[in-house]
Amino acid sequence: MKPLRMKITGSGNGIESKNAVEGSSPAIPELEKTARKIRRLILTMIHAAGSGHPGGSLSACELAVALYFGVLRHDPRNPSWEGRDYVLFSKGHVAPLQYACLAHAGYFDESHLKTLRKLGSILQGHPNMHKTPGVEVSSGSLGQGLSVACGLGAGLKIQKAQNRVYCILGDGELQEGQVWEAAMSAAHFKLDNLCAMVDANGVQLDGPVADIMGVEPLVDKWRAFGWHVIEIDGHDFNRILAAYGEAEKTAGKPTAIIARTVKGKGVSFMENRAEWHGKAPNDEELRAALAELEGGAAR
């Protein structure tokens, strides 16, 4: 069975599964349109919940959209399909981003999004692999996702499987020592089926990452740990897709994509503001944010 990749179409909820065509790329305007919808879903569900994490969900939006709708081999009708690629959100607090992508891809109905963080919901404040279709690992305690990704990557290599593993981390999360133990292990075991994406938006819960505990120079550090490193604008779909393609072709070492992003991207009053790391918009703020997003592509 050939792997499936999600291709944007104009029917249903925006996508359908088709056989991948080698060398083909999704239409950038369609990905940009999808990203705007995902941003609206993120804000709407956090507003409905009255709590959540908009800042990092918005900054990593293009990284996730490019994966789920342009790169990933997966089948929403069969989340446990053995041929799938794996996506791990190590920074599990950006669950609204993952949930919005999963719903739009067809893993579950979008009506579930309004139940975010409610008792009995399949969409808890941090991802739960036992409740939510398409979630590969329960996460939320920062610093652990890359270790899980290493285990998956190593197991797949032993099986000589072609699946790939993608792990999204935050730059503030890199202050956790376990991340670097995992980074060292991945290089040692030559896990070239592993791609780590660092959402380097420069802002964490309490303020600028550089003020709390600086993690730069990120490119030099990951390279020193034995990784193939690509630095990109994390909101440019052309650069993102090219980076994912380069990662897939890199042999003998894992790849780290350092994606330079903007916290709260797409909503002017949220951008680069630490207070929007974990705060829900009120009614007026939601209306203003949605109006801004309806006006066109994220700036």
Residue 140 pLDDT: 84
Domain boundaries, the chain: 28-294
- What span, in angstroms and rounded, lies between the C-alpha atoms of 32 and 18? 20
Q: Distance of CA 48 to CAs 51, 53, 64, 190, 203, Å? A: 8, 13, 22, 44, 25
pLDDT at 11 over 80: no
What percent of the chain stands above pLDDT 70?
90
pLDDT at 1 over 80: no
pLDDT at 297 over 90: no
Q: What digits encode the pLDDT tens for the residues 52-62? A: 999 999 999 99
Q: What digits encode the pLDDT tens for the residues 184-216? A: 999 999 999 999 999 999 999 999 999 999 999
Q: Distance of CA 273 to CAs 14, 73, 119, 268, 285, Å? A: 32, 35, 30, 10, 14
Residue 243 pLDDT: 98
Query: What pTM value is reported for the model?
Result: 0.91
Instruction: List the single range of 119-123, 140-144, 176-180 with lowest mean pLDDT.
Output: 140-144
Mean pLDDT of 81-105: 97
Confidence of residue 26 (pLDDT cuts 50, 70, 90): confident
Mean pLDDT of 39-45: 98
Structure tokens at 133: 């279709």
pLDDT at 16 over 80: no
Structure tokens at 279: 């705060």
Structure tokens at 51: 């709590």
Residue 253 pLDDT: 98
Residue 100 pLDDT: 98
- What span, in angstroms and rounded, lies between the C-alpha atoms of 168 and 179? 12
CATH 3.40.50.970 fits 28-294, yes or no: yes
pLDDT at 8 over 70: no
Confidence of residue 25 (pLDDT cuts 50, 70, 90): low
Which residues does 212 contact at the CB level (< 8 Å), separation at least 6? 172, 175, 204, 206
Residue 114 pLDDT: 96
**Please, are residues 198 and 257 in contact by the beta-carbon 8 Å criterion?**
yes
pLDDT at 17 over 50: no
Provide the 8-state DSSP code for 19. E
Q: Residue 70's Cα: distance from chain center in Å? A: 13
Q: Distance of CA 258 to CAs 3, 37, 196, 223, 243, Å? A: 27, 24, 8, 11, 10
Q: What digits encode the pLDDT tens for the residues 234-277? A: 999 999 999 999 999 999 999 999 999 999 999 999 999 999 99
**Residues 236, 152, 173, 55, CA torsion sign:** positive
Residue 24 pLDDT: 53
Confidence of residue 292 (pLDDT cuts 50, 70, 90): very high
Mean pLDDT of 20-33: 71
Structure tokens at 239: 């650069």
